[in-house]
Structure 1
């Protein structure tokens, strides 16, 4: 892997999105590029007065909203509610968070957004919502099972999805405690899920940290095969050493980590693009500069194939 020594600049204007009115803050943005110029942005909102640690202790303080743009993000629709809670039958989670990071569009055209719930008196639960009409309506996907470690159930937390072959989806998840990352598998576009498993190769800091996963066409592939990149702080003790790994076999095995940022670093999101007929990738991530002060960094890189 090589990092491009580019001075990144904005080509054109930066467009600000007026997210909300009132004393609420937006969190966990999920952008999805649906088509040329057509972008969906889904996000959660919480009262400004509630800390991140208090979000799972008070019932129904959150909302999930969606905005649409048909001109590449220059103009946006008014925010509309996405009624996730009605899909949980008799369960009524205190806390329901999507993402964070990008959502995906499957080869079939289906849109996929992942998330998780929490309540004080029960284990959290992963979920997925899908849309088959370009984001106009949404429904819950299949139930996602827990992973098992030494007889104990392990659930995921912040998560992202990737399509590794047509309708074959892998959800990669943060875990809590001292567990490694978790992966969950669907072979039918998230209608149902089979096993979930822990991936010892994919280490992460104690209590976990968000990570990002991105699929892209395998070089010289003739069978729609996808390769996958994964980013997170590859360290078991602290949020540092933000790295990327490559899988060429549908997220079954992973390469050794390649460092993007050796110092303190945390959340990230990956994207792929083509420049000068070459496949390139970029990572947007948090970098700790001093105590409690994070910068948002952006690095462009290529992989050796």
Structure 2
């Protein structure tokens, strides 16, 4: 089914039309009842997505599931990673993040372990667009990879992975790899976790060369900070103009320099889920409401712009399915 909605607005120097061209579930039925935390990437052969699925979040059967978008339809999902350990124990997997290396492999980052305060970082690689995958690689201690939202490639070829930890309060940090995950460095915590509690950042690119992060917080707002040295140091976190009900967000800088964010625009709950746009990363305008059913959960979005300039969004739909939206701006 195709849905077409049009939202007109003026934002600074921009006048734009947003159209939801298509909204559909990635799958109708699955061999698990619950899913969450989707991710998207564009490979040389097309769009791909992943998420975690199992009996329920934190259950040991939770694995990473993956699908290709082919000729306007999602293929039947397949499980590409599980938490079976060498001694036979099985732990749940968490928060997959896909990253397509330009001209090279597709990387799947994810977390393995019994809970967010105990998990560790893992990755797998695919050299054929996600058809087959390498054996899992465990990341070094205190390196988690991008914790929920996509990694970004810096001008010097360094992959910046926006990350966070939950084992000693909620704290942000940034991770860097110049060799696609073989060696790593990281910043210290960007917040104290007490007066400012934050996780799951996204990275935006500003016209003056600075980076901006936006992130989930327990402080009632999406928080933001800025970096003038490609993510090595950051200004203090401060509230943005966008409310946050302690729920995951995602954001992306478009080819034309505008920024798009997907979030829950309420103080409590995870409905509605909306899309906002900004010309400067500070002043935001809602342009679409993707779901608005009171008391339900629509959460943990992922957003990318593909080579045809379309904006693709996925999000958790009532913890039962993953929904995919194609947006034209």
Fold conserved between structures, TM > 0.5: yes
Question: Which residue, 215, 232, 235 being the options, matches 1:191?
Answer: 232
Q: Secondary structure at the match of 1:24?
A: coil
The whole-number CA distance in structure 1 between the counterparts of 2:232 and 2:218 is 26
The answer to whether the aligner puts 1:74 opposite 2:131 as a matched pair is: yes
State whether residues 163 and 169 of structure 1, in contact with CA within 8 Å, keep that contact through their aligned partners in structure 2: yes
CA 1:166 to 1:24, structure 2 compared with 1: closer, same or farther past 3 Å? farther
Where does structure 1 lack aligned partners over 5 or more consecutive residues?
88-95, 219-225
Question: Which residue, 110, 127, 141 being the options, matches 2:187?
Answer: 141
The whole-number CA distance in structure 2 between the counterparts of 1:5 and 1:39 is 26
- 1:31-65 Cα offsets, whole Å, 9 max, x none, are 11111352111111113xxxx5xx43xxxx42211
Post-superposition offset of 1:269: 0.5
Question: Which residue, 226, 231, 248 being the options, matches 1:210?
Answer: 248
The whole-number CA distance in structure 2 between the counterparts of 1:203 and 1:194 is 20
Spell out the pairing of 1:286-305 with structure 2 (5 A cutoff): 286-288=316-318, 293-303=319-329
The answer to whether the aligner puts 1:268 opposite 2:301 as a matched pair is: yes
- 1:205-237 Cα offsets, whole Å, 9 max, x none, are 2xx10000111211xxxxxxx221100111223
Matched residue count: 259
Post-superposition offset of 1:140: 0.4
Partner of 1:235: 266
Spell out the pairing of 1:55-94 with structure 2 (5 A cutoff): 55-56=116-117, 61-85=118-142
- State TM-score, norm by structure 2: 0.71
State whether residues 173 and 183 of structure 1, in contact with CA within 8 Å, keep that contact through their aligned partners in structure 2: yes
The whole-number CA distance in structure 2 between the counterparts of 1:182 and 1:7 is 30
Post-superposition offset of 1:21: 2.5
Post-superposition offset of 1:134: 2.6
Question: Which residue, 222, 231, 256 being the options, matches 2:286?
Answer: 256
State whether residues 301 and 313 of structure 2, in contact with CA within 8 Å, keep that contact through their aligned partners in structure 1: yes
Spell out the pairing of 1:108-127 with structure 2 (5 A cutoff): 108-119=156-167, 123-127=169-173
Where does structure 2 lack aligned partners over 5 or more consecutive residues?
1-17, 27-68
State whether residues 24 and 324 of structure 2, in contact with CA within 8 Å, keep that contact through their aligned partners in structure 1: no
- 1:114-160 Cα offsets, whole Å, 9 max, x none, are 222234xx54321110111233211103642459xxxx821312222
- State TM-score, norm by structure 1: 0.76
Higher relative contact order (CA 8 A, sep 6+): 2
